[in-house]
Structure 1
């Protein structure tokens, strides 16, 4: 049987920010993963670990002081080397959809949600003008956006409604790859479940989804695999059923994320994440890890899906 090629193949993706002082801050280091058709990969980790920077790199939305390395192949296109012209005309919206982390900033403030949806439908599909209204309303319903709010402007929406409007816009083109950066922010639990179920239907139709989230319950509901990020590095990449079930995570940090949940041990991870501009030598998690030893003075490689010198001990525990 011929193997199905991945929708997205990321290899050694790194992002550094050049500061005015001349030093560099490593926001993402050596990210490596594939994303297959019909698969959702949930990228999880504490704030500031580099998740959103990684997504921005894939879409060419980094600030001017960013420097990237590695590759991110979407079909025959390396997203890290594509020109702004190619990204804006053939990638964003058409081949890669985006649910942004800050939907209010993503929506055009002087236009209604309906007009923005209709324009997006017209640009990304073959819908004729008479059918735009119905197509826009269908897109809104997919994202649980209330139809009686379609003629409102973004400033008239709550944070949750703005999030649903941005999700509706992202789903319009049925892009083969969808990047969802905190798509459940501001939603109550029922709407979280409805949103991730709609994203799951999008995936089950043969598309790929990279979902960045703090919501581990949402990740458990939707993901096929989980990538755990800490201090700019992916420290565990695991099957979701094994990660959330038995035997569970193998990296102490990933184990700590689950143990901090209210329906589990409800035990916070001690300490604070390091500043990306002042990372400790060796394993960045070692100062917070109860398993740290002298071995942790060296940075562990992502070997067999986990970057930890004590992965076996954590799994056994």
Structure 2
């Protein structure tokens, strides 16, 4: 709340993620994606206010106290790959010792040899090199820190994996490996995956469904095959995201997103939209997968 103002970082967000499914949440920086992830884990700042429900099985995460979240949710029921892995790794301990501690805490494995083996298996799943296990976080590149965080998140085989920009800092080959490992985690173990990403190529490789977020709201929620193929996205903002990709000659979206503390009464994308009319002064609800007064229909969309 800068300057004492209330900022609605996330508003009226509704979605579900089923076991064995990956939902990719995409959108520009500052649209509220990571705030949403923090809210699910109870990691928002003390002055933040939340309302609503967030069900994980029979547990309402929004109503759970800190003790419940710390002891039974984080790591055990929700595995987190954080956006800034270096900040989540203990700086004075090696990656091996952190993996072994996590294995012991979440799986009950005991014994030096068993813990060592389990830590090495966890590292291998995330393509973390075995010869770097005895290094400290400050001795790792950003990409290696990301892979270490991924290895830690996969240890507990939590029913929901929350991956916040899990491919940040990785080259393309490692992006593909990481995405494929996360997909394997979903497919073989029947886990649910909520992946927050800017990487549309990674989203197209892994996701079953796509949720597009803009200015704190979900503006489109649809099947990934339809979104990236035919008939394509229906919201003008979603279409703009795809048009900004290299294969579309980096066609930019004009203008800038609004400040979350100064959102308009109507559609927040209207000032950047070539389909906007006077009707956009009213806030469009999310109906039939898209929140827009003038969504594209299939015959309007061109590759």
Give yes or no for TM over 0.5: yes
Q: Return 5+ residue gaps in structure 1 as ranges.
A: 1-18
Encode CA deviations 1:198-256: one digit per residue, 9 max, x unaligned: 00001102000000000000000000000000000000000000000001000000000
Identify which range, 259-268 or 85-94, moves more after superposition: 259-268
- Of 276-285 and 224-233, more deviation after overlay is shown by 276-285
Please say which of residues 307-316 and 190-199 is displaced more in the overlay: 307-316
CA distance in 2, matches of 1:123, 1:300: 46
Which residue is equivalent to 1:136?
119
Matches within 5 A, 1:281-300: 281-300=265-284
Which residue number in structure 1 is paired with residue 133 of structure 2? 150
- Identify the residue that residue 229 of structure 2 maps to in structure 1: 245
Q: 1:223 matched to which residue of 2?
A: 207
Q: CA deviation at 1:280?
A: 1.8
Matches within 5 A, 1:1-317: 19=1, 21-129=3-111, 130-204=113-187, 205-313=189-297, 316-317=300-301
Judging changes above 3 Å, is the alpha-carbon distance between structure 1 residues 254 and 315 closer, same or farther for their aligned structure 2 residues?
farther
Deviation at 1:65, TM superposition (A): 1.1
Specify the SS of the correspondent of 2:49. strand
TM-score (ref. length: structure 1): 0.93
Cα distance, 1:265 vs. partner? 4.2
Residue 231 of structure 2 contacts residue 298 of structure 2 at CA under 8 Å; is this kept in 1? no
Structure 1 range deviating more: 298-307 or 275-284: 275-284
Name the SS for the 1:272 alignment partner: coil
Report deviation, 1:281: 2.2
In 2, the alpha carbon distance for the partners of 1:87 and 1:148 equals 34
Tell me if structure 1 keeps the 8 A contact 2:265–2:282. Answer: yes
Deviation at 1:313, TM superposition (A): 4.9
Distance in 2 (alpha carbons) for counterparts of 1:162 and 1:313: 43
RMSD across aligned positions (CA): 1.0
* Aligned-partner Cα distance in 1 for 2:80–2:298: 36
The structure whose residues are more often strand, as a share, is 1
Q: Residue deviations 1:161-213, cap 9 Å, x none?
A: 00000000000000000000000000000000000000000110200000000
Cα separation, 1, equivalents of 2:287 and 2:63: 28
CA apart distance, 1:23: 2.3
In 1: Cα distance, 2:248 partner to 2:71 partner: 46
The structure 1 segments of at least 4 consecutive aligned residues displaced by more than 6 Å after TM superposition are none
Whether the 8 Å CA contact 2:33–2:196 is kept in 1: the answer is yes
Alignment-derived partner of residue 5 in structure 1:
none
Q: Judging by fraction of residues, say which structure has more helix.
A: 2
User: Is the CA contact 2:243–2:252 (under 8 Å) kept in the aligned structure 1?
Assistant: yes
Structure 2: any 5+ residue segments left out of the alignment?
none
Preserved contact between residue 142 and residue 198 of structure 1 (Cα < 8 Å): yes
